[in-house]
Structure 1
Amino acid sequence: MKNKHISSLLSTMLVSMPLLTACDVGRELARSAMDIVRNPQTDVGKQVLGSSSYKRSKLKNLEFTCVKEQFPSLPQEADQLYRYALYHDFKNRWLPKPGVLDRYLPYYRIAAANGHWQANLTLQEILLKSKDINIETRERRGEGIYWNEKLMKILPASAHYWWSLYIDVGYGPKHGADDSIIYLRKAADLGNAKAQYEVGELLMKIQDDSSHSVRLKVTDKMRVCAINQIYPDAEAALMASVTESSEKNYKLALIYTHQGVKAGDDTSAHIAGKVFYSQNPNSRHKQWGITEDKERSRRYGIISDYLTRRAHLKPELNVHDLDEIVPLPPAKLPSWDGKIAIQRFEEGPAPAKPSDELVRRLAQQAGLDPNTGLPK
């Protein structure tokens, strides 16, 4: 888990407004970024859970009610642009060639501007982390802020999580030393699975023996909530599985392991396979007491192998169709062709290129340049 308090990062503050204005990313883009800087979301300050110094931290507002993030349906026309861009993006991720990703950014942008939250999330990942696009760092900063403001309108929990990430690397809303955690806690309360897991981990790092039991209960609630989301958090599931197996709660450990596989975690898939069958008579997984099932073990093994080989497809890598492949007992196993859904997409034929007319129309209704996907 990332360190939320690295002073060298937090000292790298948001680039100045004159620089944002100078970025060739459109007047609306720069204006939106500056508005966020001038008007940070101070109301989320009420959600702060403690100071940046854990040893002196005084716990505040620790109460937590599990909320699951609600994902709106994806607009079909925008989805055509997203799938086309993602397919070619996937093909370029293993050994990326400079400039290739630039060809598909306009499709991501136009899809995101038309309410496609998956395109928005993928685009923000690219802008924050990719070194294979021809955009200056300061331009990426302004553009990332722009798209996260759009995301706030359709997926506020995830947007708050992204504000916490941006603050960590030195830009985003105007901030102080603790604001990254403020946004992270707000994201958790709104239902973001990753934020729920990370806030729980932060709580357990606080040096305060007297509140340990209280913090542990809150952390457990957050972790379980993160595991049972529509899109589970892989780290939360794996951590919970390890914890429950160490306490000999093996049936619950299996459920959490299964959820970890859904989230795309290859370690969870490997564990699940060994739990259902291992050739090693001394395997520690035999003590789980799960009825042997070689076919279930085989299927988890195939999934584990794919997730390991395709780790470069993260963060989109997942097995959300897991219950259609290897549901937990006592459900019977359905027929299966040996591939998960994302594998069929990645290995299948390229989606048809969206027509120029569709691209122009979607760009126009979002006020974007159809050639770049940026505001006019």
Structure 2
Amino acid sequence: MRIKILSTILISIPLLAACDIGRELAKTAIDVVKNPQTETGKQVMGSYSSKLKNLEFTCVKEQFPSLPQEADQLYRYALYHDFKNRWLPKPGVLDRYLPYYRIAAANGHWQANLTLQEILLKSKDINLETRERRGEGIYWNEKLMKILPASAHYWWSLYIDVGYGPKHGPDDSFIYLRKAADLGNAKAQYEVGELLLKIKDEMVRPTVLKIVDKMRVCSLNQTYPDGMAARMMAADARNEENFQQSLVFSHQALKAGESSSGLTLSRAFYTENSKSKHKNWGIPTDLERSKRYRIIRDFLWKNAHLKPELNVHDLDEIVPLPPAKLPSWDGKIAIQRFVEGPAPAKPSDELVRKLAQQAGLDPKTGLPK
């Protein structure tokens, strides 16, 4: 495993056309790991610092285009009923709403595209073993490449992992993952960082740790942050007794839907346990902030079936970090209002036909004619 990881992470691909060059570097890395005492091994290890350039990372934020309003009507209608079916899925129900997801995705709605790909890859309510289903995920990711390339590269890495799409080399999944990270995808940035941590060589360990921190910080500061990246940075700051920084990172983790961080934040602002480790944080008691964090955490914990869409992107509007004052709040987060609210109006047949025709799709199935 160590050899395979090294053969991947030593490659920073500025362009996918550079894959052949990347594989040459990968082969060199494998040779060195296998034969460090050979002349080639000594020569390469002697210039190991130059190879570290391939690990360098510059933070880029993924840019999310605005969602088309008409397509959003189809997406919200489908998502609402999809959510209602996720707790105890009934066979066949999801198929009723796939055409709406498909037509919205084909009209540039990147959220619909991402949700659709999640469904096609993971839902037990859909037969994924047929060639048609496998090809469909690839079809939508090709559409996504045009509007959200960082996320599309992340999905290419997933598809290669599970064997969908055309044949690829053994390391191509990691190559796409690193490209996704370089383009700004939060999940990819966190996952590449985790791979880098598997490098144990003491000679490069300090450099690796700095790069991992850069990736995690970049990931947790994205428009749609990665919850695990923020959680890990919060834990590191806590271990270093930098409690104020841990508070900030925990807040970002909760924003991404990471429920355990809500409990941490609640206890940081108030806990009845006099022996709690949170007493050492030195955070002034704030009963209302503690209460709000706990309410949010409870909703996330009880509604984990709403992932991956489950998030608290409106967190700063509900419980901003001190010294900001708390605004009034009705006790619900945005996604909760959507889930518990009335069903969105069913899109008219005319709108469905119009959007399907624009994209060259069958309005009944949402699939290409």
Counterpart residue identity of residue 148, structure 1 = N
Say yes or no: does 1:175 pair with 2:162: no
Larger radius of gyration: 2
Cα displacement (A) at 1:139: 2.0
Partner of 2:203: 210
Q: 5+ unaligned residues in a row in structure 1: which ranges? A: 7-39
Name the residue aligned to 1:81: 74
Where 2:193 maps in the other structure, the secondary structure is helix
Aligned residues of 2:361 and 2:368 also touching (Cα < 8 A): yes
Instruction: Please report the TM-score for the alignment, with normalisation by the length of structure 2.
Output: 0.88
Q: 2:351 aligns with which of 350, 355, 358?
A: 358
For 2:357, the aligned partner's letter is Q
**Between Structure 1 and Structure 2, which shows a larger proportion of helix residues?**
2
Structure 1 residue aligned with 2:279: 286
- Aligned counterpart, 2:48: none
Partner-residue secondary structure (3-state), 2:204: helix
Measure the CA separation in 1 of the matches of 2:21 and 2:362: 39
> 1:108 corresponds to which letter in structure 2?
Y
1:56 aligns with 2:33: yes
Q: What corresponds to 2:315 in structure 1?
A: 322
1:138: Cα distance to partner? 2.4
Q: Is the 8 A contact 2:67 2:109 kept in 1?
A: yes
Asked whether 1:230 is paired with 2:223, we answer yes
Q: Is the 8 A contact 2:357 2:363 kept in 1?
A: yes
Cα separation, partners in 2 of 1:189 and 1:173, compared to 1, 3 Å = farther
Asked if residue 342 in structure 1 is aligned to residue 347 in structure 2, the reply is no
Structure-2 change in CA distance of 1:127 and 1:45 (3 Å): farther
Q: Separation in 1 of the partners of 2:32 and 2:322?
A: 45
Q: What SS class does the counterpart of residue 210 from structure 1 fall into? A: coil
Of 178, 182, 189 in structure 2, the residue corresponding to residue 185 of structure 1 is 178
The aligned runs of 1:1-376 (5 Å cut-off) are 41-43=16-18, 56=33, 61-134=54-127, 136-376=129-369
- Measure, in 1, the Cα distance between the counterparts of 2:354 and 2:31: 52
Alpha-carbon distance in 2 for matches of 1:352, 1:87? 10
1:44 Cα deviation after fit: 5.4
Summarize the Cα distance change of 1:312–1:320 in structure 2 as closer, same or farther, 3 Å threshold.
Answer: same
Q: Kindly tell me: are residues 357 and 256 of structure 1, through their superposed partners in 2, closer, same or farther at Cα, counting changes over 3 Å?
A: same
State the Cα deviation string for residues 220-247 of structure 1 (Å, max 9, x = none). 0000000101111000011110110000
Give the CA deviation at 1:56. Answer: 2.9
Higher relative contact order (CA 8 A, sep 6+): 1
Cα gap change, 1:359 to 1:228, in 2 (>3 Å): same
Q: How many angstroms apart in 2 are the aligned matches of 1:284 and 1:292?
A: 14
- Partners of 2:269 and 2:233 lie apart in 1 by 19
Query: Structure 1 residues 79 and 237 mapped into 2: Cα distance closer, same or farther (>3 Å)?
Result: same
Post-superposition offset of 1:65 = 0.5
State, as a whole percentage, how many aligned pairs show the same letter: 75
| CA distance in 2: counterparts of 1:301 and 1:253, whole angstroms | 17
Deviation at 1:102, TM superposition (A): 0.1
- 1:168 deviates by 1.0
In structure 2, C-alpha distance between the alignment counterparts of 1:251 and 1:148, rounded to whole Å: 40
Deviations 1:311-368 (A, max 9, x none): 0000000000000000000000000000000000000000000000000000000000
Aligned residue type for 1:171: Y
Residues 283/150 of structure 1: CA separation in 2 closer, same or farther (3 Å cut): same
Q: Is the 8 A contact 1:234 1:265 kept in 2?
A: yes
Kept in 1, the 8 Å contact 2:77–2:345? The answer is yes
Distance 1:46 1:160 in 2: 19
Output the aligned Cα RMSD.
2.3
Q: Could you tell me how far apart the structure 2 residues matched to 1:45 and 1:235 are? A: 32
